[in-house]
């Protein structure tokens, strides 16, 4: 089975993706991660205004069969939360890189992204 | 220890199943998605490979006595082709395992008889019972030890590795099975069974299941497992859907809703007092007679979360003051109801449906309510 791994973003070994646009980093989980979890039924996310730190836990995603912690790709302040997931968590399965996004972080230092995996690195990891 | 593999491990792998360890077996947990598989069983029909279930055969002049003394229900009520849910309890009345006991045709009457040591066993009662995954060896040993101790004449064979077991479950299960049999199975009543030829394969087919839906369980020799499985073109289902279906139906899972090692429970506490036939004098009946159903201090109840969250095995249950009063034993997001539901033990004073409680999810108290089980309408 092959999985989407868009090249326009960076990845964590724990299967989150990070897409930066003008200092704001959008975060979600990968196609591989949603497939491993199966039907997502619940997400727990921080509120806007809270701060997160790189590789620190920021929330939880639960499928019918598993509970998985979520890790932040960069440090910064939460400026956006995808509240659509509270009523429609299946968006994480349907469109993990698009409508299934979870968080937007106003990054303290976008250079932190350089330390993360490239699409090619991540592809090797899940191969 | 290497995992035991069901006869169809390769077939399931090719079908794209994900696997999980369960009771020492490497079993398919999900073929497509738990939600899709669950819906197939509730609305149409699905097939499960449950070959990890134990298969123990007991036969001989004293087979009925042995079964009667080691299981909690009344085996003497079983005619050939009857099935019965029962528990296996210890001297204290704690559940070691739960099982379904089938009375097979008497020795000599079954199709494809294997003659044993040239002796004539014709007419001896014969039972098949199905311990939980991974429990078959210990249960087999328990039977042999007691047979020897009580000096009973019965053979006890652990045939777990010889038989595959499939469950065809759902409102359209009759249609699905019927097209493949040499005779009608629609007339089989709940908790009865008989030998039927399915796709040319002799199966022990029972109107039983673990989903709350109508359906059948088919027991077949491993050698014919592939042939039979591939004859069904309905949705294959894994242990993931099996779990969500049985939780909605309020059915217990050994090792989770009772665990003989870590959380021993009596049938009364577990809400299955109907499997206790005290008059049959079994191991544990004296203790259970003393306990009496009404004096149970803790009870298994259904729980629904009102706040957002999913109850999971091991989560604390508290009263509205925040004092821990119990534990969740099973939980999930119900695919049918789209509500978070679970099972758990609470003191009897909190067991009344409608009682407000809390479940502690990652340190946060979530409002919850005691519900009657089953959570959904089930076949009786």
Q: Regarding the domain with residue range B9-53+161-248, which homologous superfamily does it belong to in the CATH classification? A: Probable tRNA modification gtpase trme; domain 1 (3.30.1360.120)
pLDDT at B119 over 60: no
Which of A1, A2, A32, A38 is best to mutate for the B interface (most B CBs within 10 A)?
A: A38
What residue spans define the domains of chain A?
Answer: 10-119
The answer to whether B33 faces chain A, any CB pair under 8 Å, is yes
CATH class of B56-158: alpha beta
The pLDDT of residue B115? 46
Q: Residues of B marked as binding for substrate?
A: 217
Least confident of A84-93, B103-112, B194-203, B269-278: B103-112
pLDDT at B308 over 50: yes
Percent of chain B with pLDDT over 70: 96
Which of A39, A47, A90, A92 is best to mutate for the B interface (most B CBs within 10 A)?
A: A39
Percent of chain A with pLDDT over 70: 99
The pLDDT of residue B113? 46
The pLDDT of residue B6? 85
As a whole number, the mean pLDDT across chain B is 94
Tell me which chain B residue has its CA closest to the CA of residue A60: B362
Flag whether the pTM goes above 0.90. Answer: yes
**What SS3 string covers chain B?**
CCCECCCCHHHHHHCCCEEEEECCEEEEEECCCHHHHHHHHHHCCEEEECCCCCCEEEECCCHHHHHHHHCCCCHHHCCCCEEEEEEEECCCCCEEEEEEEEEECCCCCCCCCCCCCCCCCCCCCEEEECCCCCCHHHHHHHHHHHHHHHCCCCEEEECCCCEEEEEEECCCHHHHHHCCECCCCCCCCCCEEEEEEECCEEEEEECCCCCCCCEEEEEEEHHHHHHHHHHCCCEEECHHHHHHHHHHCCCCCECCCEECCCECCCCCCCCCHHHCCHHHCCCCHHHHHHHCHHHCCEEEEEEEECCCCCCCCCCEEECCCCCEEEEEEEEEECCCCCCEEEEEEEEHHHCCCCCEEEEEECCEEEEEEEECCCCCCCCC
pLDDT at B367 over 60: yes
State the smallest CA–CA distance between residue B269 and chain A in angstroms: 26
Contacts of A44 in chain B (CB under 8 A): 309, 362
**Mean pLDDT within B109-131:** 72
Nearest to B308 among A1, A42, A63 (CB): A42
**Mean pLDDT within A17-31:** 97
pLDDT at B99 over 50: yes
The pLDDT of residue B1? 63
Q: pLDDT tens-digit profile of B218-247?
A: 999 999 999 999 999 999 999 999 999 999
Nearest to B310 among A1, A62, A86 (CB): A62
The pLDDT of residue B258? 97
The pLDDT of residue B270? 97
pLDDT band at B147 (very low <50, low <70, confident <90, very high): very high
Contacts of A41 in chain B (CB under 8 A): 310, 333
Architecture of domain B297-380: Beta Barrel (2.40)
Least confident of B153-167, B203-217, B279-293: B279-293
Q: pLDDT tens-digit profile of A26-52?
A: 999 999 999 999 999 999 999 999 999
Give the domain A10-119 fold.
OB fold (Dihydrolipoamide Acetyltransferase, E2P) (2.40.50)
Q: pLDDT tens-digit profile of A96-110?
A: 999 999 999 999 999
State the smallest CA–CA distance between residue B245 and chain A in angstroms: 12
What residue spans define the domains of chain B?
Answer: 9-53+161-248, 56-158, 297-380
**Mean pLDDT within B85-97:** 98
Q: Which of residues 45-104 of B touch A (CB under 8 A)?
A: none
């Amino acid at each position: 089975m092959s999985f989407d791994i868009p090249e326009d973003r960076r990845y964590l070994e724990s299967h989150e993706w990070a897409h930066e646009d003008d200092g704001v980093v959008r975060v979600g989980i990968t196609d591989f991660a949603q497939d491993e979890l199966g039907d997502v039924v619940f997400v727990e996310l921080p509120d806007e205004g809270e701060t997160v730190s790189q590789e620190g836990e920021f929330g939880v995603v639960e499928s019918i069969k598993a509970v998985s912690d979520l890790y932040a790709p960069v440090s910064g302040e939460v400026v956006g939360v995808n509240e659509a997931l509270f009523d429609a968590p299946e968006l994480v399965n349907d469109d993990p890189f698009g409508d299934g996004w979870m968080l937007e972080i106003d990054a303290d230092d976008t250079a932190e992204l350089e330390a993360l995996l490239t699409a090619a690195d991540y592809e090797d990891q899940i191969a | 220890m290497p995992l035991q593999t069901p006869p169809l491990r390769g077939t399931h792998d090719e079908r794209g199943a994900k696997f999980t360890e369960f009771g020492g077996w490497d079993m398919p947990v999900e073929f497509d998605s738990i939600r899709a598989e669950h819906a197939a069983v509730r609305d149409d029909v699905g097939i499960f490979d449950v070959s990890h279930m134990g298969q123990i055969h007991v036969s001989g002049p004293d087979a009925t006595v042995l079964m009667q003394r080691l299981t909690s229900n009344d085996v003497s009520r079983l005619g050939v082709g009857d099935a019965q849910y029962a528990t296996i309890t210890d001297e204290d009345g704690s559940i070691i395992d739960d099982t379904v006991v089938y009375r097979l045709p008497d020795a000599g009457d079954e199709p494809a008889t294997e003659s044993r040591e040239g002796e004539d066993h014709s007419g001896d009662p014969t039972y098949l019972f199905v311990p939980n995954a991974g429990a078959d060896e210990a249960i087999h040993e328990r039977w042999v030890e007691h047979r020897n101790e009580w000096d009973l004449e019965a053979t006890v064979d652990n045939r777990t590795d010889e038989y595959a077991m499939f469950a065809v479950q759902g409102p359209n299960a009759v249609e699905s099975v019927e097209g493949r049999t040499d005779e009608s199975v629609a007339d089989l009543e709940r908790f009865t069974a008989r030998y039927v030829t399915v796709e040319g394969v002799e199966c022990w087919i029972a109107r039983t299941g673990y989903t709350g839906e109508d359906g059948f369980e088919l027991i077949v020799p491993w050698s014919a497992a592939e042939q039979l499985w591939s004859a069904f073109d309905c949705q294959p289902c894994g242990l993931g859907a099996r779990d969500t279906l049985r939780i909605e139906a309020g059915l217990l899972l050994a090792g989770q809703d009772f665990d003989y090692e870590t959380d021993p429970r009596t049938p009364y506490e577990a809400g299955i007092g109907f499997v206790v036939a005290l008059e049959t004098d079994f191991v544990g009946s004296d203790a259970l007679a003393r306990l009496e159903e009404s004096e149970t201090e803790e009870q298994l109840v259904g729980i629904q979360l009102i706040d957002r969250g999913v109850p999971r095995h091991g989560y604390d249950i508290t009263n509205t003051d925040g004092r821990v009063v119990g534990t969740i034993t099973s939980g999930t997001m119900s695919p049918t109801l789209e509500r978070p539901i679970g099972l758990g033990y609470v003191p009897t004073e909190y067991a009344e449906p409608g009682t407000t409680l809390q479940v502690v999810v990652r340190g946060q108290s979530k409002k919850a309510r005691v519900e009657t089980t089953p959570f959904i309408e089930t076949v009786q």
